[in-house]
A and B are shown apart, each in its own frame.
Chain A
Amino acid sequence: GIQVEQSPPDLILQEGANSTLRCNFSDSVNNLQWFHQNPWGQLINLFYIPSGTKQNGRLSATTVATERYSLLYISSSQTTDSGVYFCAVERMAAGNKLTFGGGTRVLVKP
């Protein structure tokens, strides 16, 4: 099946810092999403981004489908950005399912 690798596994930031999270995937995909799992366990959909670039406030994401990677940028980080960030991909030839990466655990310190 398709492999999804996220880096770094852990990230500690000072409030106000910028950071980049990376997601590499092993095959072509039809769907790629970024999720934030907050400390209460909720999975919040950040971006649906199988290709191109999107921005939402302080967050933006870029997927380069031909090179099989996606990047999530967090600018001016806040303590509420803490949690685990997941990249997940779907490859229709493999059936309707999202395959998740292992996540990047982010801690933003005040």
Chain B
Amino acid sequence: DTAVSQTPKYLVTQMGNDKSIKCEQNLGHDTMYWYKQDSKKFLKIMFSYNNKELIINETVPNRFSPKSPDKAHLNLHINSLELGDSAVYFCASSQTVGYGYTFGSGTRLTVV
């Protein structure tokens, strides 16, 4: 199936831990993104990468570090997790202008 897949689907961890979320797309898209959905369901972009290069960093704390080993993968590493990091994180990809975005199924992160 052509898709954007992210793992894990659920992540429960303690404050202060470091965790990673992985994302892969097999759509041949050039650009990949991380979005954060807060408890009020508001969706906001965090990062975007185009062909492995960082394009957008929306004033995200530097505890969040994206890494793109190739244009089909974009991982998100989070250091020193805080309670406020609890949210659903969505990975997405898109081709150049004229096409829509495809989203992964989300990772629900709970920091306790």
Contacts and interface: CB of A to CB of B under 8 A. Distances in A.
A60 interface: no
A70 to B, nearest CB: 14
A42 B31 contact: no
Contact of A45 (B45, B88, B100, B108): B100
Contacts of B106: 41-43
Interface stretch (A12-20, A61-69, A74-82, A92-100): A92-100
A43 to B, nearest CB: 4
Report the interface size class on chain B. Answer: 20 to 34
A7 interface: no
Interface string B61-103: 0000000000000000000000000001010101001111111
Residue of A45, A92, A98, A105 most packed against chain B (CB within 10 A): A98
Contacts of A86: 43
B103 to A, nearest CB: 4
Interface string A2-39: 00000000000000000000000000001101010100
A92 B97 contact: yes
A86 B43 CA distance: 9
B42 A102 contact: yes
Nearest to A102: B42
A35 B102 CA distance: 10
Contacts of A45: 100-103
Contact of A97 (B48, B98, B100, B103): B48
A53 to B, nearest CB: 16
A33 B55 contact: no
A71 to B, nearest CB: 18
A97 B41 contact: no
A100 B58 CA distance: 14
Interface of A: 30-31, 33, 35, 37, 41-43, 45, 48, 84, 86, 88, 92, 95-100, 102-103, 105
7 pairs of A and B residues whose beta carbons are closest in the complex: A48-B100, A100-B43, A43-B103, A97-B45, A33-B100, A41-B106, A42-B105
